[in-house]
Amino acid sequence: MNSLTHPAAWIHLDWVLLVVVGWLLVGLAGIAALRRFRLVAVVLFPLGAVFSVLLMAVALSAAFAGPEVAVLPLGLPQLPFHLRLDSLSAFFLLLIGGVSAGVSTFAAGYFRKGEGTPPGLICLEYHVFLASIAMVVMADDAYVFMVMWETMAFSSFFLVMANHRIPEIRQAGYLYMLVAHIGALGILLCFGVLQANTGDYTFANMRAQQLSPFWGSVAFVLALFGFGAKAGVLPLHAWLPEAHPAAPSPFSALMSGVMLKIALYGILRVSFDLLQTRIWWWGVLLMTVGLASALFGVVFSTVQVEMKRLLAYSSIENIGMICAGFGLSLLFSSYGMHALSALALTAAMYQMLSHAFFKSLLFCSTGAVMHATGERSLGRLGGLIRYMPWVAWPTLVGVLACAGLPPFGGFVAEWLLLQSFLFTTGLPSSFLDMLVPVMAAVIALVAALSGYTMVKYFGVIFLGQPREEKLSAAHDAGPWERLGMLWLVTGCVLLGLFPNQVIAVIDPVTQRLVHAGLAHTVADNGWLLVPVSMERASYAPAIFLLGVVLSFGLAFVLVRKLYHGRLRRVPPWDCGYPWQTARMQDTAEGFGQPIRQIFEPFFRLQRQLPTAFDPHPVYAVKLEDPLWHWLYLPVARWVEKLSRIVGLLQQGRIAVYLMYSFATLVVVLMVVRR
């Protein structure tokens, strides 16, 4: 290994490579124990979780260290693997390790015998996926980046296709791989522009290039297209609501919690690191795409009746919010407003970390519900808090964090993001001074709708009466599943209670990318989170939590002291009709109907209306994505026609192919002669 002069300088990078090799060995051990279910479940997946915890510890230490580089003697003769571990890479490795530790532990108790792909093969695909995403964030040249990016794409494709015997899952996997490869083409073209015709595809060379505003804009748009396809931003989102429900729940958790963040890493690496030019309209474009994705995702999530599809659309919303924060940071940075740029970037990165934990938790709890009930439709669930309390209470934490309520990490992230959008009066353009506060109003609307969606999600599943008789036989989560969910719950709580410490971890990243940070400001205010100044805004999570605990404790003591022995249990108020059944309580469709009516232009509605002659009248409403019919299907028809035209060249006769070769040779000779 060729590295820096002093070997001790790359000690963190060596440990990360050790984790990567450990994951690969765990995956290969899965192949050796292909159908030995118990060995894979209770030994290999927990061992993978141990490596994840090690990665998290190493990344936390590396976040405050200097950059470390290495060249591995792998790849092609003139294209070795260049690796770099800097503060940005360390932050994402911390995210990968923290989330995958919980998900791997949950997976140890999730899988059942006879479900789809053999357990040993799933173990290999799972750990190759983890190893590849860790290598993506350490890649320091386009070659190793694309090799690991495609490894990540293929391993995640096989994870989506775990239950490949179902036709809908095969279709979802095909769509996912198609969009992934279209995005990869955009990334390849972006790297081609960044290397500026030098032939050197290392990131160090790309940083040294001073691209013109035109070519810099071309590289930025290509990066947004390529990485946006993997992140699921509009209009490249179509694969996400299909692939997430198709994959087993632990893989859905990793795809939403980790893989989407790796796409955002690509946007950060190109926009803030490799490109030395920043233009104001890049930020406006990124904000517009992000807020459009956020509003689209949250509106569609409010009307979903299938659990994992609801969470998938919610992920589109969260990714859109993060992109909006990136765009605002780019806008501030283009005008030299470094402190505000650091605030917006800190908010976006905080949202990334928080979303990784609470959305992984929600996908895991959804998987536990699906295993216990055999149902994925919200319309067939209800009252599960009585039978699955170990799943219900962690889910409640995830729901509160996703809704942006204190004292969890989701609130801190959205509060910081709103603060950054409100500090815009110093922009030199009056148009932007007007536009950015309007975008802040959109963020507030999205946050409110997100809370509405989470109330629907938790209430319909766990509260009320069971809508099916079989739900009374639902079993709670097992020990491994409980441990995995509790790990993710701990992450949600710590991110909410210790924002200053989390910002200290993010600060080296913002210092590197936008030459400013918040760590010094928040460190001067003790337990108060002060983004800019005490006069503008502050938040004290510990004091808030203490107030909540004291309020509930005082209420409990007063009730026990004053009313103990005077209480009796009676049925709730029933509007004068005491014979209510589960069919009379609010349904998932009914809960989302007001939003469906308000935002009806967002949907493509297909209604099935009953007639007077139907023996069994049915009223049904099917909601479809209009972009699928306006964009994807026309493009598919155009590609199919073009393919038929190109297919005419393939005649199956050697004489025709020789004629093609002769005609090509004649044309080339004519061009060379001229």
DSSP string, 557-573: HHHHHHHTTT----PPP
- Distance between CA atoms of residues 596 and 589, nearest Å: 9
Asked if residue 507 belongs to a domain, the reply is yes
Q: Which of 295, 299, 291, 317 lies closest to 594 in space, CA to CA?
A: 299
Confidence of residue 10 (pLDDT cuts 50, 70, 90): low
Burial code (b: 16+ CB inside 10 Å, e: under 16) for 129-148 equals bbbbbbbbbbbbbbbbbbbb
- Distance between CA atoms of residues 595 and 563, nearest Å: 42
Is 113 a residue whose pLDDT tops 80? no
Q: What is the mean pLDDT of residues 423-433?
A: 73
Whether residues 261 and 285 fall in one domain = no
Q: How many CB atoms lie within 10 A of CB 622?
A: 10
Is 237 a residue whose pLDDT tops 80? yes
- Distance between CA atoms of residues 244 and 628, nearest Å: 17
Whether residues 492 and 372 fall in one domain = yes
Asked if residue 565 belongs to a domain, the reply is no
- Distance between CA atoms of residues 164 and 118, nearest Å: 12
Cis peptide before 610 (omega within 30 of 0): no
Confidence of residue 8 (pLDDT cuts 50, 70, 90): very low
Asked if residue 67 belongs to a domain, the reply is yes
Q: What is the mean pLDDT of residues 269-295?
A: 91
Phi-psi region of 377 (alpha: psi -120 to 50; beta: other; left: phi over 0): beta
pLDDT of residue 7: 45
Q: What is the mean pLDDT of residues 14-35?
A: 90
Q: Which of 188, 190, 220 lies closest to 289 in space, CA to CA?
A: 220
Q: How far is CA 216 from CA 193, 196, 480, in A?
A: 8, 10, 49
pLDDT of residue 3: 42
pLDDT of residue 424: 64
Give me the amino acid identity at 410: G
What count of residues does the chain have? Answer: 674
Give me the amino acid identity at 463: L
Q: What is the mean pLDDT of residues 54-61?
A: 92
Backbone phi, then psi, for 619, in 5-degree steps?
-115, 125
Q: ∠ CA 454-460-464 to the nearest 5 degrees? A: 130
pLDDT of residue 189: 93
Asked if residue 585 belongs to a domain, the reply is no
Q: What is the pLDDT of residues 194-214, one digit of tens each?
A: 988 888 888 989 998 888 889
Q: How far is CA 501 from CA 60, 490, 529, in A?
A: 12, 15, 10
Whether residues 140 and 283 fall in one domain = no
Give me the amino acid identity at 603: F
Confidence of residue 408 (pLDDT cuts 50, 70, 90): confident
pLDDT of residue 565: 61
Confidence of residue 137 (pLDDT cuts 50, 70, 90): very high
Q: Among 511, 528, 557, where does a domain finish? A: 557
β-partners of residue 306 are 377
Burial code (b: 16+ CB inside 10 Å, e: under 16) for 361-394 equals bbbbbbbbbbbbbebbebebbbbbbebbebbbeb
Average per-residue pLDDT for the chain = 84
Whether residues 635 and 536 fall in one domain = no
74 vs 221, higher pLDDT: 221
- Start-to-end CA distance of the chain, whole Å, equals 50
| Cβ-contact 416, 531 below 8 angstroms | yes
Cβ neighbors of 247 (< 8 A, separation 6 or more) are 159, 160, 162, 255
- Distance between CA atoms of residues 352 and 614, nearest Å: 51
Q: Which of 30, 58, 24, 61 lies closest to 43 in space, CA to CA?
A: 30
Is 532 a residue whose pLDDT tops 80? no
Cβ neighbors of 114 (< 8 A, separation 6 or more) are none
Is 576 a residue whose pLDDT tops 70? no
- Distance between CA atoms of residues 76 and 78, nearest Å: 6
Burial code (b: 16+ CB inside 10 Å, e: under 16) for 276-296 equals ebbbbebbbbbbbbbbbbbbb
Q: What is the DSSP letter of 615?
A: S
Enumerate the H helices of 428-476 as residue ranges. Answer: 430-462
Whether residues 211 and 360 fall in one domain = no
Is 616 a residue whose pLDDT tops 80? no
Whether residues 371 and 250 fall in one domain = no
β-partners of residue 84 are 69
Cβ neighbors of 570 (< 8 A, separation 6 or more) are none
pLDDT of residue 608: 67
Whether residues 245 and 264 fall in one domain = yes
Whether residues 515 and 399 fall in one domain = yes
- Distance between CA atoms of residues 99 and 576, nearest Å: 49
| Cβ-contact 83, 140 below 8 angstroms | yes
Is 31 a residue whose pLDDT tops 60? yes
Q: What is the mean pLDDT of residues 445-468?
A: 87
Asked if residue 228 belongs to a domain, the reply is no
Q: Output helix, strand, coil percentages for the chain, rounded to the nearest 5.
A: 70, 5, 25
Give me the amino acid identity at 353: L
Is 375 a residue whose pLDDT tops 70? yes
- Distance between CA atoms of residues 644 and 660, nearest Å: 18
pLDDT > 90: percent of the chain? 33
- Count CA atoms closer than 13 A to 129's CA, side-chain side: 26
Joined tokens for residue 39 = 């060995």
Helix or strand or coil: residue 71? strand
Whether residues 325 and 439 fall in one domain = yes
Whether residues 263 and 283 fall in one domain = no
Asked if residue 590 belongs to a domain, the reply is no
Is residue 314 exposed (0-12), middle (13-18) or buried (19+ Cβ within 10 Å)?
A: buried
- Distance between CA atoms of residues 468 and 460, nearest Å: 13
pLDDT of residue 659: 84
| Cβ-contact 375, 469 below 8 angstroms | no
Positive/negative CA dihedral, 547, 548, 549, 551: positive
Q: What is the mean pLDDT of residues 577-596?
A: 72
Give me the amino acid identity at 34: L
Asked if residue 438 belongs to a domain, the reply is yes
Phi-psi region of 653 (alpha: psi -120 to 50; beta: other; left: phi over 0): beta
Whether residues 102 and 152 fall in one domain = yes
Positive/negative CA dihedral, 496, 497, 499, 502: negative
Q: What is the mean pLDDT of residues 27-49?
A: 87
142-160 and 119-138 are packed helices; what angle lies between their axes, rounded to 10 degrees?
150
Considering its fold, how many domains does the chain have in total? 3
Asked if residue 226 belongs to a domain, the reply is no
Q: How far is CA 44 from CA 51, 247, 254, 479, in A?
A: 11, 20, 17, 16
pLDDT of residue 116: 65
Q: Which of 338, 524, 503 lies closest to 415 in space, CA to CA?
A: 503
Whether residues 265 and 283 fall in one domain = no
Which structural domain range is residue 260 located in?
1-217+239-270
Q: What is the mean pLDDT of residues 380-386?
A: 84
